[in-house]
Structure 1
Amino acid sequence: MKQLCVVKKRFGGDRVNKVASSVKRLVLLILFLTLSAVLVAGCAETSTDEGEGRGGDSRVKVTATIGMVADAAKEIGGDSVQVTGLMGPGVDPHLYKASQGDIRKLEDADVILYSGLHLEGKLTDILEKLGEEKTVKAVTDNIPADRLRGSSDGAYDPHVWFDVELWMSAAETIRDTLIEYDPAHKADYEERAAGYLEKLEELDLYAAERIGSIPEESRVLVTAHDAFGYFGDAYGIEVIGLQGISTASEYGAKDVADLRNLLVERKIKAVFVESSVPKKSIEAVIEGARREGHEVKIGGELFSDAMGKDGTTEGTYIGMVRHNVDTIVNALK
C-alpha cells in the first residue's frame, strides 16, 4: 500500500489507475487465449478418437451369423469390409441363443448377413426387427424356391451350402448387398466376387468327380442329422440322418433301432459324426449294430452346420467342403 501511495503521489492517481486497468485486461486476454487453446485441443482429440473408432476406419462393418456366410463376405469384401462372425466352430445354429455381446455386434454393424430359411432359429426374429433400421439380408433369398428342399414340417431345408452351385447364388447375393450399401467400391466387389465364383465352380467339379469315384452301391452317407440332403442331390449319394433337418428335433429309441437295422441289412460299413452335433447318438447306433453282429466304424468327422477353427483349412468354406468330400470318399471307396 505504501508503494502504491508513493507511485500515486509521483505519477498521479489517474495515470496509475489506467496502468492497472491495462494490466488487468492483458491478464484476462492471456487467460482467454489459454482457455481457447485448451478447448480446441480437446475438441481435436475427441474428433480423432471418434474417427479412429468409427470415421477413421472407413471399412463397412459386416456382422454375419454362421461361418460360411462370414467367410464368403470376407472373400468378396476384401479390404473394404470388416467382418465379425457370431457363431464359431462347433456351434449349432439351430440351438443358438444370442448373448448381449452378440446383440451389440448386430447393433454396431452397418450390414448384417445371415443364412435364412430359419436356420438361425429364434435369432431370426431379432434380425428381422433390425432390418427395419439397417441393411439386413438373408443370403438365400435369391435361390429359386424350386431349387430348395422341403422338410417334414413344411419348412425348407436351410443347409444349401452343401450344394456348391446353390452357394454360388448366396455369394452373388452377398456381392449385390455390399454394392448396394457401398457403391463406391462396386468394381472391387465385382472383381473379388468373380474370382471367388471361379473357385466355387472348381470346387463343385471336384466334389462331383470325387463322389463319383465311389462305387455306386457304396454311396450311402449316414450322419447324425439330416444336414446333407443338398449334398446328396447335387453329387449323387444317398443320405440318411438319424435326426431330422434341425437338431432341435428329438430322436428316440425307435429312430436308433431303425437306423441300426438299416446298417445291418444293407451291410453299411461306415457312419459319420459331425463337429456341431454330440457323438452319443451315432455311437448308440454303432453299438446296436455291433450287438446284431455287424461291425460299423466311424468314417470320420464332417463339418455340417459350422466350419473348422480359424486359421485351419477347414476354417474356410472351400476347405470345409473339400475336407468333407475327401473324408467321405476315403471311408466309403
Structure 2
Amino acid sequence: MISRRLLLSAAIPALMAFSAVPAFADTLKVVASFTVLGDVVSQVGGKHVKVTNLVGPNGDPHEFEPSPADAKNLKAAQVAFVSGEGLEGWMDRLITASGYRGKPIVVSQGVNTRTMDEDGKTVTDPHVWNSPVNVKVWVANIEKALSEADPADASAFKANAEAYLQKLDAMNAYAHSKFDAVPADRRKVLTSHDAFGYFGREYNVSFLAPLGLSTETEASAADVAKLIEQIKAEGVKTYFLENSNDPRLVKQIAKATAAQPGGELYVESLSDAKGPAPTYEKMFRYNVDQIAAAMAKSS
C-alpha cells in the first residue's frame, strides 16, 4: 500500500494551483493547528481573520494525519499558529510537504509549563489550554502576530484581546468558585490520558489516567494494575471519557474499581457547532461543571 505521506507529497503540486486567490480582500487567511487554538485566534482576530483549523472538531491532535487539503490550506495561509511544546509532532512534515514559507507562531511561548515523567524521560506537558491563565499568554502572542501581519487593524486586535482577557479572568474565577470549597480528598477523578495537568495545578484537582501525555502511547498491564490499586487506595469515585479518543481502557479500569461515570470531557478539541463545547469558553465551563457535579455526587 502506498503510504499517506507519499500520497500527500504527490498531491501537493496539483492542489497548489487552486490556492492563490484569497477569500476576502481585507481578511487575513490564518491556519490554526486545532480547534481550541483556532477559536482563540478567532476571538482576537474578529472579522479581520478567516481561520482554518487543521485538526477538526472532536479530533485528536496527537494522532492527526495531514491530508492534501491541509497542505493546501497551510500553503495559502498568511499566518499559521501552533500551540507547541510537542503537541503537533506532524507539523514539520506538513510544512515541508506544503511548501509553506512562513514560520508558525508558537502561542505557548512564555507559558509557565509543567514537566512530568514519561517512560523514564522528563517531558513538557503540552496541554496548556486547560487553564485559562495560560490562554492569556496565548492571547498576547496571537495579538502580536496578527498586528505584525496586519498593522492597519492592530487597534481592533488589541481591543478584541483586552475583551477576551476579561472573559478568561471570569472563567478562572468561575472554576475557583466551583472547586475551592471542595474537600481535597474529593478532588480526584479518572480520565483517559494525562491531559488535565494544568487544570489540576490551578484548581488543586488530582487526575489519574492510564495513558500519558499522548494518546499514541500504550499502557502496559503492569501500569494498569498499578493504577487500579491507586484508584482503590485513594477512593476515586468518578471516571470521565474524552471526546477525542478511545474510551475502552478507561471503562475497563472503572469496572475494576467500581468508579462511576461522570460524563464526557472535552480535552483537546471542541465539539461541533451543535455540541456542548463549540467554543473554548463553553468547553472550559462545561468541563468545570461536569467535574464539579461529579465531586458533589461523590460527596
1:314 corresponds in structure 2 to: 277
Which protein shows a greater Rg?
A: 1
* Distance across 1 between alignment mates of 2:99 and 2:176: 37
1:38 corresponds in structure 2 to: none
2:199 corresponds in structure 1 to: 231
Aligned counterpart in structure 2 of residue 123 of structure 1, from 75, 83, 91: 91
Residues 41 and 142 of structure 2 are in contact (CA less than 8 Å); yes or no, is this contact kept in structure 1? yes
Deviation at 1:99, TM superposition (A): 0.6
Residues 189 and 237 of structure 2 are in contact (CA less than 8 Å); yes or no, is this contact kept in structure 1? no
State the Cα deviation string for residues 91-142 of structure 1 (Å, max 9, x = none): 1111111111101110011111111111011224434897972252111123
Structure 2, unaligned stretches of length 5 or more?
1-17
Aligned counterpart in structure 1 of residue 34 of structure 2, from 66, 73, 87: 66
Residues 178 and 292 of structure 2 are in contact (CA less than 8 Å); yes or no, is this contact kept in structure 1? yes
1:151 corresponds in structure 2 to: 116
Aligned counterpart in structure 2 of residue 250 of structure 1, from 215, 218, 227: 218
Percent identity over the alignment is 31
* 1:300 correspondence with 2:260: no
Aligned length: 275
Letter of the aligned partner of 1:148 in structure 2?
A: T
TM-score (norm 2): 0.86
Residues 302 and 327 of structure 1 are in contact (CA less than 8 Å); yes or no, is this contact kept in structure 2? yes
4+ residue segments displaced more than 3 Å: 124-132
Deviation at 1:55, TM superposition (A): 7.9
TM-score (norm 1): 0.78
1:8 corresponds in structure 2 to: none
* Distance across 2 between alignment mates of 1:172 and 1:64: 16
Deviation at 1:312, TM superposition (A): 4.2
Instruction: Specify the SS of the correspondent of 1:307.
Output: coil
Aligned counterpart in structure 1 of residue 56 of structure 2, from 88, 108, 125: 88
* Distance across 2 between alignment mates of 1:119 and 1:183: 30
Residues 189 and 236 of structure 2 are in contact (CA less than 8 Å); yes or no, is this contact kept in structure 1? no
Structure 1, unaligned stretches of length 5 or more?
1-49, 290-294
1:111 corresponds in structure 2 to: 79
* Distance across 1 between alignment mates of 2:69 and 2:96: 18
State the Cα deviation string for residues 156-207 of structure 1 (Å, max 9, x = none): 1100001211111011101110001100001000001100010001001111
* Distance across 2 between alignment mates of 1:91 and 1:304: 10
2:161 corresponds in structure 1 to: 193
Instruction: Specify the SS of the correspondent of 2:209.
Output: strand
* Distance across 2 between alignment mates of 1:284 and 1:243: 13
Aligned counterpart in structure 1 of residue 251 of structure 2, from 283, 302, 316: 283
Q: Structure 1 158/56 Cα, relative in aligned 2: closer, same or farther at 3 Å?
A: closer
1:39 corresponds in structure 2 to: none
Letter of the aligned partner of 2:108 in structure 1?
A: T
Letter of the aligned partner of 1:133 in structure 2?
A: R
* Distance across 2 between alignment mates of 1:106 and 1:307: 21
2:234 corresponds in structure 1 to: 266
Q: Structure 1 56/326 Cα, relative in aligned 2: closer, same or farther at 3 Å?
A: closer
Which is helix-richer, 1 or 2?
Answer: 1
Q: Structure 1 198/129 Cα, relative in aligned 2: closer, same or farther at 3 Å?
A: farther
Instruction: Specify the SS of the correspondent of 2:154.
Output: helix
Letter of the aligned partner of 1:299 in structure 2?
A: G
